[in-house]
Amino acid sequence: MAGVIGNLSLLIMLATAVAFLGLYASSVDAGLTASRTVNALNHASAKLTIDQGCASSDQYGSNDCSFRWGDSFNVDYAVVLQEDITGGSIEIDAKVNKYIPFQASCAPCGAPCDITVPIIQQNVTIDFPPCPITATELADSIPAVLPASNPLGVKLHVAGSVKAVDQNGDTVADIDLDVMLTNDKAETQPRTTPMYIKLY
């Protein structure tokens, strides 16, 4: 699913943390769920709807979603980016497992971004598309399948914000996320192999 989302210019900026970590888990024994609050969305509009596993929805689509590893579902999206993106930044400001700071800053285009996951110290490289990201409208329905098991190998809870700013310093998106990945009981070893995510 990350490859398809990566082709959506706006979702590259809106969902970097989600593409990197997954979604948020509450009562799921082994899996993930996602909860988010959109504080601001400017020069753009977006709606992403998942056909199962989500307890609520709003003008931006599905929310409070819970899944098990290996689940499959369909994603409907409609995205409008109203300006060309030639620069700016994507800022992550969060805490891992409630106490450990997790901060990262990436350019939205033109260069890869290297992030180190706290606790397990796993390196993740996110390959962003070349600049500019041109204004566009996209809509489609796509199938998605989660990995068979936690790709990081350890239980991880991340809560914080993702903010995207364009080349003029204007806030394009400001989103609060609450993210957790949980393990199957048999999984006890963290993943140590570097992870590579291509977003175009």
Tell me the average pLDDT across 122-151: 89
Residues 6+ apart with CB under 8 A from 121: none
- Looking at residue 194, what is its pLDDT? 57
pLDDT score of 87 more than 90: yes
Please tell me the predicted confidence (pLDDT) of residue 184: 62
Q: Which of 51-55, 112-116, 150-154, 170-174 has the lowest mean pLDDT?
A: 150-154
Q: What tens digit of pLDDT does each residue of 60-79 get?
A: 999 999 999 999 999 999 99
For residue 187, pLDDT over 90 is answered with no
The larger pLDDT score, comparing residue 187 to residue 159, is at 159
Tell me what pLDDT residue 83 has: 95
Q: What integer pLDDT is reported at residue 180 of this predicted model? A: 85
Pick from 46-55, 61-70, 190-199: least confident:
190-199
How far are the Cα atoms of 10, 42, 92, 191 from residue 164, in angstroms, in the given order?
A: 10, 10, 9, 29
Task: Give tens-digit pLDDT for 17-34.
Answer: 343 333 333 334 568 878
Question: How far is CA 51 from its chain centroid?
Answer: 18
Q: Please, what is the average pLDDT of the chain?
A: 80
Q: At residue 174, does pLDDT exceed 80?
A: yes
Is the whole model's pTM more than 0.75, yes or no?
yes
Domains in the chain with CATH codes: 2-198 (2.70.220)
In angstroms, the CA 185 to CA 166 distance is 43
Mean pLDDT calculated for residue range 120-148: 89
Strand partners, 76: 49, 141
pLDDT class of 196 with cuts at 50, 70, 90: low
Ranges assigned E (strand) in 59-121 = 61-68, 72-81, 89-96, 100-106, 112-117
Cβ neighbours for 130, distance < 8 A, ≥ 6 positions apart: 109, 110, 200
